[in-house]
Each structure stands twice: as C-alpha cells, then as structure tokens.
Amino acid sequence: MVGVNQRKNSGATAAPVRAKRAGATGPASERRDHLVKLAAELFARKGFQATTVREIADEAGILSGSLYHHFDSKETIVDEVLRTFLEDLIARYRAALADAADARAALSQLVSIGFHTLEPHRAAITVMQNDWNYLRSLPGDRFDYLVRAEDEVERMWMEQIRRGQASGQFRADVDPKLTYRMIRDGIWVAVRWFRPGGRLDTDALADHYIRVLFDGLATGDRTTQPA
C-alpha cells in the first residue's frame, strides 16, 4: 500500500500503474507542470474536496476559464499528481529489487526510497493519505489504478520479507503483512512532521529508521528481555 487507508482486498491481480499522458515539451508543458504543482500544494493544504478550481486559478494568477485550457477538471489535475508519484515510486522500487543481493539489502533500499520521496512528492503523499477513500468512491474507474499500485507495492515488500524469513535473515515468528504495514505507515506518516532543511535530511532519516528496524531499540540479548 502506498497510502494510509483502509479497504477490503480487491481480489484482483496486481497490475502496474498505466502510463500517464505523453507530455509535450516547451513553454506550454512548463506552464502545465507549474499549474499541477500549485494545485498539488493546495490539495495537500486544504484537501482535494475543499479546493475549488477558482482557488487553483487564483493561486496561479489566471482566470478559471484559462485553467480549463490545460485541464478539463479538478480530477484530471489530482490524477496527474498521483500518477507521477506512483510511477516514480514503483519504477524506483523495481530497479532496487533487481539489484538487491539479499532480502535485507532489498528492504533497506525500499525504506530509503520511501523516505527520499518525502521531499519531491510531499504533496502527493499527503493527498494519498487524506483523500484516498474519497477518490476511490468517485463514479467510474478513473482511480482504480490506486488499488492496483497499492497491491503491487504490497506484493514487492511482502516478497522480500518472506524471502528474508526463508533464508533465515528475518525472524520467522512475525507476520509479513502486518510487518509491512507497520513499516509502510512509519515511512508515509513522516510526511506530516518531516521538514526539509531541518535537523535531519532524508538520508539521515532513512539511516536511522533502518538501524531501528534491523538492530532494534533494546540492548542486550533479546531472549533475556522481560515479557
């Protein structure tokens, strides 16, 4: 899963996020990208439902009608925000898994990638957390790819956890799905308090999380700790 939400298992086979609209180049494309970024920040700050087309246009310093020259609806804008994030995330995950020597190395890479998305995709991650259920409730299948992406990401993580259990790298007495969800939530919820330019950058944040994940918090022999 790539956001904090609750849903029933769709039962469908996980599939990659479909390709986004082929982008043009030049000033028109740059203007469109600028509008997407402005809208994404508004969605993150106010919520997708509460943000109006007029507010997006005002933020951009244009008339509402001019915004429709680039996008046919507010849903089209948030669609582009989320697709860009998910396609980048999944592509990075796939590349990392292709090169990982073992399960521990794979999980370390997945954790690091997750934390490194907090800056470039902060708005998208916030929207995923706050507006997932609403977007999934909209008529039609426009946002069905959110579930497909969620399923694919979950599969990648759980395969590595099970791989580590089978090889003896990871404890066999922990539930892979629950473990994945706890790791996932620890990463994505950080978007609410992480501030670029603060005491920790994303490298330090990921390194700290990985140390706690694999080395634990308690000292001494784990078997001697009180129940």
Token pair of 122 as six digits: 């902060």
**DSSP secondary structure string, 26-85?**
SHHHHHHHHHHHHHHHHHHHH-TTT--HHHHHHHHTS-HHHHTTT-S-HHHHHHHHHHHH
CA dist., res. 51 & res. 38, Å (int): 12
pLDDT at 223: 58
Residue-range domain boundaries for the chain: 78-215
- CA 72 to each of CA 27, 43, 64: distance values in angstroms, whole numbers, following the listed order: 19, 17, 11
Cα atoms in the 13 Å half-sphere on the side-chain side of 80: 19
The CATH number of 78-215 is 1.10.357.10
Check residue 25 and give its pLDDT.
Answer: 56
CA distance 90 to 148: 11
DSSP state of 118: T
Nearest to 43 by CA among 117, 136, 130: 130
Q: Which tens digits make up the pLDDT trace of 23-75?
A: 455 667 888 999 999 999 999 999 999 999 999 999 999 988 889 889 999 99
Q: Which residues of the chain have pLDDT under 70?
A: 1-27, 221-227
What ranges in the chain are assigned the alpha helix state H?
27-46, 53-60, 64-67, 74-99, 103-116, 122-137, 145-167, 176-188, 202-215
Q: Which amino acid is at 132?
A: W
174-193 CB burial, b ≥16 within 10 A, e <16: eebeebbbebbeebbebbee
Here the contacts of 214-217 (C-beta below 8 Å, separation 24 or greater) are 214/104, 214/108
Predicted local confidence at residue 2, as pLDDT: 62
Residue 219 confidence (pLDDT): 86
